[in-house]
Copies of this chain bind each other. A is one copy, B any other.
Amino acid sequence: MRIGVIGGGQLGRMLAEAGAGFDARFTFLDPSESACAAVHGRHIQADWNDTAALEQLLAASDAITFEFENVSSDVVAMLAEQRPAYPPARALATARDRWSEKSLFRSLDIPLPPVAKIDSQADLDAAVADIGLPAVLKTRTLGYDGKGQKVLRQAGDVTDAFAELGNVPLVLEGFIDFDHEVSVVAVRGRDGETRVWPLVRNEHRQGMLHCSVPQIDHPLQAQAEDYANRVLAELDYVGVMAFEFFVQGETLLANEIAPRVHNSGHWTIEGAETSQFENHLRAVCGLPLGSTARLAPCAMLNVIGALPERDAVLAVPGTRWHDYGKAPRPGRKIGHITVLASSDAQLQERLNAVEQLLTNDLG
């Protein structure tokens, strides 16, 4: 099993770790000299669209996947002509573009917050008049973790905002009151079989994921699975996809999708019968999908900017340390900590103990 991965960050790194039991070999295409996945395989250091590098990747791989949305869907479509390459290019194209993504939700009758397509300052002025303030202006492509965004709180913020974000295609999203944010991670096999992990409650800080806690018997699990299945089927999807929602009372409002393994699914490495990384590999390689049942109460905390004191964290029972081997830098995800427990009360206790040790620098 030889897997080619476009991108060599922590998601690629954890994919390779999940492939160890399959005796899989990995090749990563990543322009960065310090791609942290490279320790687990071969590293082709080149741009995502470097033709010679893509040929090398093809030659080294029986199947190909990617670990982020920054690669062009044309590249994936080209690779798919020569090897199984999943998730499919069309899913990537849709998820890369916030307007396409929102339009997909609408076409599938999945509720979502107010949104407008913005191609000019005039579009923006009209959309603000319609949706109201506060609202958030986002680039249609290439934004993540709060980057490429501007919150508009008052009329003055709107003036020249289109130019401020670079005169590129944007969307304006209305602010909504919501109770909390959840996500579901789901996987679809080449044969159309789907599996969904338990819904995860997420807490963000400064636009970055801070904490994810999988929920058992959440009243919105069925609704989330229904929406996820609509999207997966529509895109004839293969691999893992993450779906982020706002919870408003007993309603889910779709926020965004990610056509890849996802930070809110890292708890599955230790906490589920099959991890998102393993099931992504199983799907991409055409193997039967594994069970997504939760094994025990657990949660995941992101490590951002700076590592906390490792031994103090390890001294809290049930903690599992994930150092991605990346240089510390404010606002950068450099690791995560999984917390396992035998009861919800014990989990909360352990989680509180780890929270107090975190030295995250969000930048």
| A→B interface (CB under 8 Å) | 13, 17, 20-23, 25, 39-40, 270, 273-274, 278, 282, 287-288, 290-291, 293, 295-296, 310-311, 314-315, 317-325, 340, 342
Contacts and interface: CB of A to CB of B under 8 A. Distances in A.
Contact of A273 (B39, B278, B318, B325): B318
Nearest to A314: B288
Contacts of A295: 270, 295-296, 340
Contacts of A317: 273, 290-291
A334 to B, nearest CB: 10
Q: How many copies does the complex hold?
A: 2
Given A287-B314, A288-B314, A23 B324 contact: yes
A342 B310 CA distance: 32
A312 to B, nearest CB: 8
A311 B296 contact: no
A314 B282 contact: yes
A293 B21 contact: no
19 contacts: A13-B20, A17-B17, A21-B320, A21-B322, A21-B323, A22-B321, A23-B39, A25-B39, A270-B295, A273-B340, A282-B314, A287-B310, A287-B311, A288-B314, A290-B319, A290-B320, A291-B340, A295-B295, A295-B340
A128 to B, nearest CB: 46
A23 B17 CA distance: 12
A315 B315 CA distance: 37
